[in-house]
Amino acid sequence: MNAPLCISTAPRSPRCNARPTLPAALLLAVALGLAGCAVGPDYQPRTAEAPADFASWHGGAAELAPPPPSATAQAATAAISWAAFQDATLAELQARALAANLDVQTAILRLAQSRSQRKATAAAQAPQLNLDGSAVRQRPSEDGTTARTIDVLRPVNRNQLIEELSEPFNLFQAGFDASWELDLWGRVRRSIEAADADLAGSQATLAQVRLSIEAEIARRYFELRAAQRQIELARADIAAAAETLELVKVRADGGLTTDLDVARQAAQLADLRARLPQSLAQEAQAMNQITLLAGEGPGALNTMLAARPAGMATAQLPDLSLGLPSEVALRRPDVQRAQAQLHAATASIGVAVADLYPRITIGAGFGYESTTGSKFGEWGSRQWQIGPTLQLPIFDAGRRRSVVTLRQLQQQEAAVAYQQTVLKAWQEIDDALSAYAAERLRNRELGLREKNSRNAYELARVRYDNGLTDFLVPLDAQRNLIQAQREQADSNARLATDLVAITKALAATGG
């Protein structure tokens, strides 16, 4: 419950019969002296207790742990961006998605809402000014308060007075009133602080959505290119296997080999052809997913996506052997959003604490009132009032203090959420670095395997053509080469998607 005390420098009126407890000047001086304070805790930006680098905090095998960052580690970190993929088609797709994706548009609208909310909150710091006016015709009741007053006075001409006072009349009013709440305890300032933090959180959310869309486009894009590479390999292998089958048939007709060799080569050709439809389906699915992310209808990007570029050599991918400083995790949008939410929760405590203290509002008003239109606006029809109003909370059954406790618990929850977000960020970065390091090792060995398999196949073909071995040897060598090529292509795609994961984990979208 609030017990408003009316303290005014204006003459006492029937609506303000409380005795002033302080002179207005003294009250105003005290209020202005307190106007600089703000109750509640001041927010201190959290500095997570991070290790110096990811090499000192790594889960898993030591072979996958990045080394401590060298003097050029910052340059290596800066090299991690979408530009590192050197793919103009990917860059165009990401730009289209950022412009048309519905999730991005939703995040932009929420950011605009946060800005409007901040403006509305900040408006409470300024004086509020209202202008009003009216022109009405009214008739008092013959049995209302006027009649009761006359009955108390008991005049001899009672009926005549009531009749005259009950006659309809015009009432013209116009004026303005102004009010300004002295922010003694920083309630408005803490509200603006919380609104600023909410705005920062919305900006971080938008950055997170943009980053997620860019990463998803990149991941789907490399899945598409991997499927197209598998289709290319499958068709080349089918053509080679068909040519080999014709040669084997000719040799079988000439009695240089048996029908068993023909059957084996035919089975190999059928196996290669059976693999092709699956890769074609993967290509179509990846195209549709990219098109959806870009905000386009099915088939709208087929021409752009059908032309597969020459491909990115694995040697172009950044080498993270220089190490990464762990502080890069703190620039992630989700960490910044958690920091902003903690800031807003801390400021909200001050708002709740300020509600425990009195509020003083300085009000003033000026206007004209007249029952005669010809006299409306004359100096004699003026009316005014000015003075402070004190609102003092006395009893509310503990509601305000419960709100303070609630805000404190919410602040503690936000602090826990921030720490959890930071830990999750470090874990995601470490996972991405480990996967990238492991795939680089695997990719290097698969490259050697493909080279050796190709050499083995060529030697086997030469020996078979010279009649030094049977057809089973070159056939097995061909199968090994095909498998090595497929695994190498798969590893190249995995290496690219692992770099996408690192780029997302580090929030390194620039280029």
Give the pLDDT of residue 20: 39
Mean pLDDT check: name the lowest of 25-29, 35-39, 197-201, 347-351.
25-29
**In this prediction, what percent of the chain has a pLDDT beyond 90?**
37
Q: Which two tokens stand for residue 151?
A: 């009955």
In a domain, 133, yes or no: no
Q: Check pLDDT > 50 for residue 13.
A: no
C-alpha to C-alpha distance for 225 and 282, rounded to whole angstroms: 10
Query: Could you tell me the pLDDT band of residue 214, with boundaries at 50, 70 and 90?
Result: very high
State if pTM tops 0.95. no
Q: How many CA atoms lie within 13 A of 318 on its CB side?
A: 24
DSSP state of 510: -
Closest Cα partner for 183 from 359, 24, 346? 359
CB of 418 closer than 8 Å to CB of 342: yes
- Apex 129 CA angle, 125 and 131, nearest 5: 165
Helix or strand holding residue 228 (H, E):
helix 187-253
| CATH classification at residue 344 | 1.20.1600.10
Q: How many CA atoms lie within 13 A of 320 on its CB side?
A: 32
At 507, the amino acid letter reads: A
In a domain, 157, yes or no: no
In a domain, 148, yes or no: no
Alpha carbon of residue 351 to chain centroid: 26
Positive or negative, the CA dihedral 184, 189, 190, 191 is: positive
- Apex 378 CA angle, 376 and 383, nearest 5: 85
Which residue is associated with the tokens 């003083």? Answer: 360
C-alpha to C-alpha distance for 351 and 353, rounded to whole angstroms: 6
Q: Check pLDDT > 70 for residue 9.
A: no
- Give one DSSP letter per residue of 158-191, joined into a string: HHHHHHHHTS-EEEEEEEEEEEEEE-TTSHHHHH
Give the pLDDT of residue 431: 86
Q: Check pLDDT > 70 for residue 418.
A: yes
pLDDT mean over 420-444: 87
- Give one DSSP letter per residue of 80-138, joined into a string: -SGGGG--HHHHHHHHHHHHH-HHHHHHHHHHHHHHHHHHHHHGGGSPEEEEEEEEEEE
Q: For residue 90, is it left (φ>0), alpha (ψ between -120 and 50) or beta? A: alpha
pLDDT mean over 115-138: 92
pLDDT tens string 438-459: 898 899 999 999 999 999 999 9
Domain total in the chain? 1
- State which of 101-105, 317-321, 348-352, 501-505 shows the largest mean pLDDT: 348-352
Give the pLDDT of residue 358: 92
Give the pLDDT of residue 329: 73
pLDDT mean over 168-192: 91
In a domain, 132, yes or no: no
Query: Could you tell me the pLDDT band of residue 380, with boundaries at 50, 70 and 90?
Result: confident
DSSP state of 315: G
Q: Which two tokens stand for residue 20?
A: 């002033």
pLDDT tens string 43-98: 888 765 555 555 555 555 655 555 555 544 455 555 577 877 888 888 899 999 99
- Which of 117-141 are b and which e, b meaning 16 or more Cβ less than 10 Å from the residue's Cβ? ebeebeeeeeeeeeeeeeeeeeeee
Q: Could you tell me which residues come within 8 angstroms of residue 89 by beta carbon, excluding any fewer than 6 positions away?
A: 221, 304, 305, 307, 309
Name the more confident of 200 and 331: 200
Q: Check pLDDT > 80 for residue 321.
A: no
Q: Check pLDDT > 70 for residue 19.
A: no
In a domain, 37, yes or no: yes
pLDDT mean over 181-205: 93
3-class secondary structure, 471? coil
Closest Cα partner for 264 from 477, 20, 412? 477
Mean pLDDT, the chain, whole residue set: 82
Give the pLDDT of residue 38: 85
Task: Give me the helix-helix angle, 333-354 and 399-465, nearest 10°.
Answer: 180
pLDDT tens string 216-262: 999 999 999 889 888 888 888 888 888 888 888 887 888 877 888 88
The residue range of the domain holding 263 is: 2-42+90-124+168-505
Query: Could you tell me the pLDDT band of residue 117, with boundaries at 50, 70 and 90?
Result: very high
DSSP state of 41: P
Q: Check pLDDT > 50 for residue 371.
A: yes
In a domain, 479, yes or no: yes
Give the pLDDT of residue 362: 92
